[in-house]
Amino acid sequence: MKVSRSALLICLIIFGAPASRLNAIPLPGWFAGCIASGTGCQPLPAGTYDVASTLTVSASVTIQGASTNPYDTILKRAPELGINSAIMVVYASGVTIKNLTFDGNRFYSEFNCVGQDNQFDLHMANTAGTNDVQNVYLFSAPGTALNVHGHTRVYNSWISNAHYTGMHLYETSYALWNTVNNSGTGGITVWGFANELYGNTLTGNRLEMPDNSGGPQITLWQGATSALVHQNVLDGLFWQTSVGGYANGCPMPINQVQTVGGIEINNEFNLTNQSHKIYNNMIKRHSGTGILLHSTAGITIAGTDPLCPACNKLSVTDNNFNGLWSPATTTNLTLGDVRIFGNRQYSVNLQNAPASTTAACLEPNDGAYLLAGVLTTYPSATNVGCP
Amino acid sequence: MTNSRQVVAASFMAAALLYGQPTEPTFSEGQVQYFRSLFFQLGSTHWTPQLLKAREGALADQFGLDQRELAAIRTAVSDFGQHEQSRGTVIVSLSANKKSFSPSDLDAIAQIEVARAQDVKALVLRIFSELRPLSAERMKAPGTAIDEVLKTRGAK
């Protein structure tokens, strides 16, 4: 019996996994008709299926594993697929992908440590309509695990150990109550407009940093607008790269130590109003900065989530650099009762903050959360007091 | 979606404040889905001890849980894993050497899903009996969000 290393790994995560699941088998014949036209679809029997060519799913098709245990049925990247092709692609709408595991097989010798950000395991490429990804486990992607072009709700899912990014969101999509951990470069990157990140847990991402730069677990990238990021927990575990070290089996490609941050908002396109709203996130234990604003415009950061005023109050705390840092010009920043305390350098360091910056409430509760340093780096702000 | 979520969340909180925790909480489809996924995820042996501790810590952060409440979740996850062993064996035996399920296989799997959902509800009830009222209300929020997703299928 041929037992691959990654099949053995996935066996370990199955509750009471019998050895029969270790055999990778071809997909059944009916599956081609199912994904092409929706005919004959039913749950895929439990087992590990080798995917040797990309599965392109048509409109209104539901792809699901044998049961609601996502580990029962595994779609595994076969060596013949290479890393340039996705395991599954969806161009249409009305599609649901649920109760499945995607094994990206990143430790296969020819895939190991060479994948890129534009190489996906699951690619939700639709530009209209709505699709769902629910209760799916994506692990060991050689590049990026999940690429959502738009109009997709991703929830109750788990992404781990992708070589590059855990998840991309391009536009009008939701990431709700997912877990993303140990991705090589970043946890979640948002590129387009009107995406919502709600209740996700991101832990120990940017483990490998193959892009040769420092960065965060969540990035609101160039051109992204109107993102709503709330109730997420980002735990950096104080991870930083080490010279000559290895992570996920890959050598560090850089010759210097790099730190990891929580959220980075970037505006290299010089948009006048990015309109991002960052409400009540836990951002802790990063070796770098909790929230980094890179030439941003029109950002609101608040400790109270207007969508859930009674939710547990979360903080930006215990990060090894600044809690909130804007090293370049930031315009139209609104800070409201955000709890930033216990970070190693400044709690809030807004270098070059212009007069248009407002701080509705910089001192929450007992007023002890802001270090004195903010007063010298934030001279033009208007502090109108806390509610 | 966000407006209706706000109303639902406010209703939950108002109910909690006015009436305290209901004696017999009920759980929606979205809430069962959330806890089922959580049980499978936390029960995985794929975690290192450090990462599992961090994942549990995220629950404590999100819902304001204390150590006693986290312990109740841990126990439920462990019990769920025990119960899954027999369910998993049945699913695998139904799948053995099959390219597709027969109607009777699908009926058997449907029954397993009913039993699994009942198990999840029972374990969540047990967890909720250990939770403080505000923690319990907060832990309903993810499922409420999922309910909205299920309700608005195709709306966006």
B-chain CB neighbours of A46 within 8 Å are 91-92, 94-95
The answer on pLDDT for A210 being more than 90 is no
C-alpha distances in Å from residue A114, one per residue of A175, A213, A371, B71:
27, 17, 43, 41
Pairwise CB contact (< 8 Å): B62 & A233: yes
H/E/C letters for each residue in chain A? CCCCHHHHHHHHCCCCCCHHHHCEEECCCHHHHHHHHCCCCCCCCCEEEEECCCEEECCCCEEECCCCCCCCEEEEECHHHCCCCCCEEECCCCCEEEEEEEECCCCCCCCCCCCCCCCEEEEECCCCCCEEEEEEEEECCCCEEEEEEECEEEECCEEECCCCCCEEEEECCEEECCEEECCCCCCEEECCECCEEECCEEECCCCCCCCCCCEEEEEECCCCECCEEECCEEECCCCECCCCCEECCEECCCCCCCEEEEEEEECCCCCCCCCCEEECCEEECCCCCCEEEECCECCEEECCCCCCCCCCCCCEECCCCCCEEECCCCECCEEECCCEECCCCCCEEECCCCCCCEEEECCCCCCCCCCCHHHHHCCCCEECCCC
pLDDT tier at A120, thresholds 50, 70, 90: very high
Q: For position A10, what pLDDT does the model report?
A: 40
- Mean pLDDT over A227-252 rounds to 90
Q: Where are the domains of chain B?
A: 2-151
Cβ neighbors of B125 (< 8 A, separation 6 or more) are B24, B25
Q: For position B31, what pLDDT does the model report?
A: 95
Look at phi and psi of residue A57 and say left if phi exceeds 0, alpha if psi is from -120 to 50, else beta. Answer: beta
Q: Are A107 and A140 a contacting pair, CB within 8 Å? A: yes
How high is the ipTM of this complex? 0.88
Q: For position A348, what pLDDT does the model report?
A: 77
Residue pLDDT, tens place only, B71-88: 999 999 999 999 999 999
From B43, B101, B112, residue closest to A15, measured CB to CB: B43
The answer on pLDDT for A240 being more than 70 is yes
Q: Any idea of the CA torsion for A127, A133, A137, A143, to the nearest 10 degrees?
A: 0
Beta bridge partners of A292: A264, A325
Asked if B153 reaches chain A (Cβ–Cβ under 8 Å), the answer is yes
Q: Report the gap between the CA of B5 and the closest CA in chain A (Å).
A: 7
Q: For position B156, what pLDDT does the model report?
A: 37
The answer on pLDDT for B133 being more than 90 is yes
| Ranges A80-94, A169-183, A241-255, B100-114: which has the least confidence | A241-255
Q: What does the block give as tokens for A309?
A: 């005023």
Residue pLDDT, tens place only, A336-353: 778 887 788 777 777 665
The answer on pLDDT for A364 being more than 50 is no
- Among B residues 13-52, those touching chain A with beta carbons less than 8 Å apart: 13, 33-34, 36-37, 40-41, 43-46, 50-51
Q: For position A167, what pLDDT does the model report?
A: 97
Strands A250-251 and A246-247: antiparallel
Mutate which of B37, B79, B97, B132 to disrupt the A interface (most A C-beta within 10 Å)? B37
| Ranges A159-163, A328-332, B47-51: which has the least confidence | A328-332
SS3 B73: helix
Pairwise CB contact (< 8 Å): A176 & B149: yes
B22 vs B3: CA distance, rounded Å: 25
Asked if B134 reaches chain A (Cβ–Cβ under 8 Å), the answer is yes
Residue pLDDT, tens place only, A52-110: 999 999 999 999 999 999 999 999 999 999 999 999 999 999 999 999 999 999 999 89
The answer on pLDDT for A268 being more than 70 is yes
Residue pLDDT, tens place only, B25-44: 789 999 999 999 999 999 99
Sign of the dihedral defined by the CA atoms of residues A311, A316, A318, A319, in that order: positive
What is the Cβ-side half-sphere exposure of residue A309, based on CA atoms within 13 angstroms?
7
- Among B residues 98-127, those touching chain A with beta carbons less than 8 Å apart: 98-101, 106, 109, 112-113, 116
Asked if A59 reaches chain B (Cβ–Cβ under 8 Å), the answer is no
Q: For position A258, what pLDDT does the model report?
A: 83
Asked if A16 reaches chain B (Cβ–Cβ under 8 Å), the answer is yes
Q: For position A370, what pLDDT does the model report?
A: 43
SS3 B142: helix
From B55, B81, B89, residue closest to A179, measured CB to CB: B55
Residue matched to tokens 């769920």: B80
- Mean pLDDT over A22-49 rounds to 93
Residue pLDDT, tens place only, B50-71: 999 999 999 999 999 999 999 9
Asked if A134 reaches chain B (Cβ–Cβ under 8 Å), the answer is yes
The angle, 0 to 180 degrees and rounded to 10, between the axes of the packed helices B103-130 and B29-42 is: 90
Pairwise CB contact (< 8 Å): A156 & B37: yes
Domains for chain A: give ranges and CATH numbers: 5-383 (2.160.20)
Tell me which of A360 and B151 has the higher pLDDT: B151
pLDDT tier at A24, thresholds 50, 70, 90: confident
Residue pLDDT, tens place only, A295-337: 899 999 988 899 988 899 999 999 998 888 887 777 888 877 7
Q: What does the block give as tokens for A90?
A: 């969806």
Q: What does the block give as tokens for A225?
A: 């607008």
From B9, B55, B61, residue closest to A307, measured CB to CB: B9
Phi, psi of A312 (to 5 degrees): -60, 135
Asked if A230 reaches chain B (Cβ–Cβ under 8 Å), the answer is no
Q: Which of A64, A57, A79, A69 is nearest to A6 (CA)?
A: A79
A-chain CB neighbours of B33 within 8 Å are 134-135, 156
The answer on pLDDT for A4 being more than 50 is no
Q: For position B5, what pLDDT does the model report?
A: 58
The answer on pLDDT for A163 being more than 80 is yes
**Cα A268 → chain centroid:** 21
The answer on pLDDT for A269 being more than 90 is no
Pairwise CB contact (< 8 Å): A15 & B63: no
Share of chain A above pLDDT 90, in %: 61
A279 vs A302: CA distance, rounded Å: 5
From A21, A66, A181, residue closest to B51, measured CB to CB: A181
C-alpha distances in Å from residue B154, one per residue of A43, A194, B147:
22, 17, 14
Q: For position A3, what pLDDT does the model report?
A: 37
Q: What does the block give as tokens for A132?
A: 């769902």
Share of chain A above pLDDT 70, in %: 83
The answer on pLDDT for A135 being more than 60 is yes
A-chain CB neighbours of B101 within 8 Å are 42-43, 45, 66
The answer on pLDDT for A21 being more than 50 is no
pLDDT tier at B111, thresholds 50, 70, 90: very high
The answer on pLDDT for A147 being more than 90 is yes
Asked if B129 reaches chain A (Cβ–Cβ under 8 Å), the answer is no
pLDDT tier at A371, thresholds 50, 70, 90: very low
A140 vs A374: CA distance, rounded Å: 42
Pairwise CB contact (< 8 Å): A203 & B145: no
B-chain CB neighbours of A228 within 8 Å are 2
Pairwise CB contact (< 8 Å): A43 & B13: no
Residue B150 DSSP class: H
Tell me which of A13 and B58 has the higher pLDDT: B58
Pairwise CB contact (< 8 Å): A72 & B89: no
Asked if A208 reaches chain B (Cβ–Cβ under 8 Å), the answer is no
Residue B140 DSSP class: T
pLDDT tier at A288, thresholds 50, 70, 90: very high
